[in-house]
Amino acid sequence: MRAVLLPLPPAERLVAAYQEAAVICDSDVAVNEAIGKHGLQLIEEIRRKKGGREPVRILTHCNAGWLATVDWGTALARSTRRNGAGIPLLVWVDETRPRSQGASLTAWELAAEGIDHQLIVDNAGGHLMQHGLVDLCIVGTDRTTATGECLQQDRTYLKALAAHANRVPFYVALPGSTVDWRISDGVREIPIEERGQDEVLWVQGRTRDACATGEDRAGSNPGVQIRPLT
């Protein structure tokens, strides 16, 4: 945007900004659609290896669907290329604490697409892999280094380790726009956000009777506090 707008007179920048934004959006859609095609090939290959028996079981973390992009999404790529092109799927959805992107966003997307899915606690992935209940892992990335390191959420690293230990294929669905060619060491050069303790000390969401807690209830108690045992 800076490269496009800075050479222009200020009066011309608004129209040019909208035009460039449209180009960026169209490019994002095309890239993510291509990711979906590649993902479908992986699903079809696993389906063949399983002899057409049972659904293909995919584990994902956080949210990398169409809510996070312009249209298709990355790891979900419009819910794994429109329901795996007829291949039965089961998606294990990490809740992704403490903000619950998996529980509130990914699960919602999959339900909207009619894809069978199960919400699991974040630490259940390794257990499922040990018992042969995960055929492949697909996650997104927030930033990718020039050497190929992918950074998303802290717990994605643990999923990768568990997948490696249990010989479960692990893939990162990343568009080229996530690659930062200036960075070669993601651990040392990319700071990981450290957030406030209230995100784990207070439970946010809705109770069984649909009463709001946390940020949903403006101007009142910020949530249900979980106090340490003494």
Q: Which residues are catalytic?
A: 142
Element (H, E) at 58: strand 56-60
Angstrom distance (rounded) from CA 5 to CA 173? 31
Three-state SS for 89? strand
Counting DSSP H helices and E strands in the chain, the numbers are 9, 12
Element (H, E) at 91: strand 89-94
In sequence order, the β-bridge partners of residue 118 are 92
Angstrom distance (rounded) from CA 34 to CA 36? 5
Question: Is cis: bond before 98, omega within 30 of 0?
Answer: yes
Helices (H), the chain: 2-5, 10-49, 77-84, 101, 107-113, 125-130, 154-165, 186-189, 198-201
